[in-house]
Structure 1
Amino acid sequence: MSGDPTPKGTARAGRSPGVSLGRIAGIPVILAWSWFAITAVIVILFGPRVEDTFPGIGSGAYAVALGYALLLAASVLIHELAHALSARAFGWPTARIVLNLWGGHTQFEHFSGSPGRSVVVALAGPAANFILALLGWVILGALEPRTVWFLLTEILVWANLLVAIFNVLPGLPLDGGRMVESAVWKATGSQDRGTVAAGWAGRLLVVVLLGVVVGIPLLQGRQPDLTLIILAVVMGAFLWMGASASIDNARMRLRLPDISANRLKQAAIGLPAGTPVAQARRIVRDTPASAIVLTGASGQPEAVVDTVALESVPDSAADATPVSATARALPAGAYVPEWAEGQELVQFLARLEGNEYAVIDSRGSVTGLLHQRTVIQAITGKSAPGSRP
């Protein structure tokens, strides 16, 4: 499957995604831990069938099964390399290739795409599998039937055909979903709208898959095959999660143009840190909806007044107590210009500490207070206190 742009360093620190296989054409290749699980399943299930086909082969049947798993991994690797190398032709850097439980995926650092380029990169993978299947079919003609090599080559042909055909189905996260995405992208001028449409197409594929596995046998008066149902449910869950993630990410990106510091800020008034508590109280009572942001000698925002602490100061000490005594400090540099918006705003906040930021105008004067939770809610539609944007 072709991948989305993925920033470097997204993996959790100290947690390896798998075994590094080195680099191919300068691209890191990772064998995910989940690959070993699916390989074990292939060996366990396929080994006895090999033994039935070749009586007397003994434990060698499991070596043949392992060979099949390795050939399948090589086919997936070539599929992903086709994505990566075709993307490189368009100047899209590839972060890495990961071979995992479901086959594999290619992660791009970023790309400057168009509908046509997206289709080319997406279809490069299935095209590579079709070519491998054709080469395998040619090799079959030179092999003696009913031999181990004939069996492995025949399986390789069918495996590559199935991988190619499955991946061109029109729905994300499959490669064919990029065709749906590109068609809607071309029609609407919005890649993200195309991604939403392709994600829903992927969800529809899941419904069709389950309908075929369960519905056709019932219509024919047969009981559905339990093994096929389990495989369909597992594969359907994977496809549904991938399609849903694509839809959610695209919807977030569609919201970004409407997000700006000026639109999301809480009104705020800037005061020097040495202002008496009594004066700050009068301002709060006159403008109860506004926050108070304290500025230092340089004029930069330094703290936010805690209204509960402000009101707790005894009246007898209100004139002599600086309002800074009732404030919580802002991290250094925790202020944003009110014109910051969209992706620029999100990336800017991601570099700052804390969960609230002063908003300033072109003169450096405080005009508002921006809360992290407000930005997250605007992007996701969900409240997530304490989370980084």
Structure 2
Amino acid sequence: MSSSPAPHHVATKKEGIPLGKIAGIPVYLAYSWFIIAGFTIIAYGPVLMHDYRGLGSWAYLVAFGYSVLLAISVLIHELAHALSAKVFKWPTEKIVLNLWGGHTQFESFTASPGKAVIVAMAGPAANFLLAGALAPFVLGRSFEGVWDLLANILMWANLLIGIFNVLPGTPLDGGRLVESAVWKATGSQDKGAIAAGWSGRAIAVALFFWFIVRPFLTGAGLDITFSLITVLVCGFLWMGASGSIHHAQLRSRLYLVSAGGLAEPAVGVPNSATVADVLAIAPAGSPAVVICGPDGRPQGVVDGPAVAAVPYEATTTTPVTAVAHALAAGAYVPEWSKGQELIQYLAQLEGGEYAVVDHNGIVTGLLRQEAVVTAITGKEARRSGRP
């Protein structure tokens, strides 16, 4: 039950069963949703059969109705996110209902603390409104039998979804309150996201202690089904909060990612050159040497050990292509490329080396994947073992 921006290419991924569009927004039912549906049937079917003996085996169908009503409640929640985002012209890519409830995926947009809070709180607000609308009918016993049971479920599901999601921690909607407050105070959305992530971790620990550790210590006993749900929910919260912290930490280091700043010096040679030509410009293996095609586009990188293995008398007759490995198609970037734009482009390429060129298309450097990873994470990247 969250909302997040994502690059447009995510829309091409298989999301599950398409349920159509609502207000122009594609809605998908992820295959993982059937896990929670099956769990609901197994856990509550026997309970309903015992409490409502007249239902017989139909109790399992009613239990399935529980999961459907929960999905409808989540859909209302996510639609509120998407429709409120439309007010700010944030393009919504899709809504996905899944094992953990659901999420609304936005395309790239420019947010602000105030707008982020409004869109986030629209979800819980919709659930509270629906629960409030159902309350007079449920409390007034306007329905009978199974319909009364389902109306109760729908009302309480929306009330609990609303309450749960306003808890002040990521990945819950209430985490946006923390994020936006810190964002407004510091001017840094990343600092806000990190604070909201830590708050989400604290909520996960608090819930686990209150519903698992406390009853165990006091000898009150634990309900297996409820305990399992609690562990799953706390695990979901912890992973979501940790993911938010990790991504915010990476984003906060994006300013360090610059093609020109991270690249090692390199020169370009035509693919008609020989090993002798390489030794003339890089006798000690430095700078790096990039092979360029007739059109000037980088094609490969000369391998130092391979050059050293060529006998001296053969250097003038050995083509440079014999001591090089190919670059991936399009593996060259302008030296002024930086930040998120650079990373998104590199993520689409194969291989771990990219030629860096200036405004005239002349090779000036060689950017290695390890340098980019180190700049983002602050940790040395593992060597892939390739030349």
Q: Fold match, TM over 0.5? A: yes
> What is aligned with 1:378?
375
Query: Unpaired segments of 5 or more residues in structure 2?
Result: none
Gaps of 5+ in 1: none
Question: Any idea what the Cα deviations from partners look like across 1:69-122, whole Å, max 9, x if unmatched?
Answer: 222211111111111100111111111111111211111112211111111111
Q: Residue 295 of structure 1: CA displacement?
A: 3.5
- When residues 311 and 208 of structure 1 are mapped into structure 2, their CA distance, relative to the original with a 3 A threshold, is same
The alpha-carbon deviation at position 369 of structure 1 amounts to 0.7
| Deviation by residue 1:297-320 (Cα, 9 ceiling, x = unmatched) | 444433321122212222222234
Write the deviation string for residues 329-367 of structure 1: whole angstroms up to 9, x where unpaired. 334543222221112222333454543122223343322
Amino acid of the structure 1 residue aligned with 2:157:
A
| CA-to-aligned-CA distance 1:37-61 (integer Å, 9 cap, x gap) | 2112212222222233322221222
C-alpha change, 1:115 and 1:325, in structure 2 (3 Å) is same
Pick the aligned partner of 1:266 from 248, 264, 267.
Answer: 264
CA distance in 2, matches of 1:35, 1:309: 54
Using a 3 Å threshold, how does the CA distance of structure 1 residues 108 and 332 change in structure 2: closer, same or farther? closer
Corresponding position: 1:214 with 2:212: yes
Secondary structure of the residue that 2:337 maps to in structure 1?
coil
2:363 is aligned to 366
* TM-score, normalization by structure 2: 0.91
**Residue 303 of structure 1: which of 292, 297, 300 is its match?**
300
The answer to whether residue 8 in structure 2 is matched with residue 8 in structure 1 is: yes
User: Could you tell me how far apart the structure 2 residues matched to 1:186 and 1:256 are?
Assistant: 20
Distance 1:114 1:314, change over 3 A: same
- Aligned to 2:108, the other structure's residue is in SS state coil
Q: Which residue of the partner structure matches residue 103 of structure 1?
A: 101
CA distance in 1, matches of 2:217, 2:22: 49
Aligned to 2:165: 167
Q: Distance in 2 between matches of 1:44 and 1:325?
A: 65
Taking the aligned partners of 1:331 and 1:42, their CA distance within structure 2 comes to 49
Question: Shift of residue 11 of structure 1?
Answer: 6.7
Output the CA distance in 2 between the equivalents of 1:17 and 1:297. 44
Instruction: Give the TM-score normalised by the residue count of structure 1.
Output: 0.90
**Map of 1:1-389 to 2, 5 A cutoff?**
1-10=1-10, 16-144=14-142, 147-218=145-216, 220-285=218-283, 287-381=284-378, 383=381
Q: Post-superposition shift, 1:258?
A: 1.2
Aligned mates of 1:324, 1:56 — CA distance in 2: 81
Deviations for 1:134-171, whole angstroms, at most 9, x for unmatched residues? 11111124535762222221222221111111111111
8 Å CA contact 2:71, 2:97 repeated in 1: yes
**CA–CA distance in structure 2, aligned partners of residues 347 and 229 of structure 1:** 41
CA distance in structure 2 between the aligned counterparts of 1:24 and 1:92, rounded to whole angstroms:
16
Mapped contact 1:143–1:149 kept (Cα < 8 A): no
In structure 1, what residue type is equivalent to 2:15? P
Deviations 1:171-210 (A, max 9, x none): 1111111111111111111112111111111111111111
User: What amino acid is the match of 2:367?
Assistant: L
Partner Cα distance (1:337, 1:19) in 2? 41
